């Protein structure tokens, strides 16, 4: 065996050959690691997509379940505003009535 190797038309010494073999081994390992990472990433993406679909379905179900509650809340807020409005007019009526009884000549 000689101390020189012909690679791609270039002659290299044994010390360089060993480093090239080591570099080639590291590159193969890196490519294998990348393939494993790619498969893992694809699986994670599929799982995330499935989780997103389940989340959207749960949100839709919750929306349907709370529609009546939201409508009841809107009606209650409307009634509350009406009661405030009516009580304001009632308070004004009471004050005017009291003023009329206290000062009949002014409001008479």
C-alpha torsion sign, points 38, 44, 46, 52:
negative
13-70 per-position pLDDT tens digit: 666 667 778 888 999 999 999 999 999 999 999 999 999 999 999 999 999 989 989 9
Q: Where are the alpha helices (DSSP H) in 1-108?
A: 14-102
The yes-or-no verdict on residue 1 having pLDDT over 50 is no
Q: Which residues contact 5 (CB under 8 A, 6 or more apart)?
A: 11, 12, 14, 17
Distance of CA 43 to the CA centre of its chain: 20
Task: Give this prediction's pTM.
Answer: 0.44
Closest by CA to 83, choosing from 91, 71, 93, is 91
DSSP letter at 105 equals T
Please give the Cα distance from 64 to 8 (Å, whole number): 69
What are the domain boundaries of the chain?
A: 4-102
């Amino acid at each position: 065996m000689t101390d020189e190797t012909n690679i791609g038309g270039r002659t290299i010494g044994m010390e360089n050959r060993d480093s090239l073999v080591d570099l080639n081994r590291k590159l193969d390992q890196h490519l294998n690691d990348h393939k494993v990472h790619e498969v893992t990433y694809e699986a994670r993406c599929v799982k995330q997509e499935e989780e997103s679909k389940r989340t959207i379905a749960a949100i839709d179900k919750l929306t349907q379940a709370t529609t009546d509650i939201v409508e009841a809340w809107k009606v209650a807020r409307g009634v509350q505003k009406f009661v405030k409005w009516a009580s304001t007019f009632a308070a004004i009526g009471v004050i005017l009535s009291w003023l009329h009884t206290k000062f009949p000549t002014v409001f008479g």
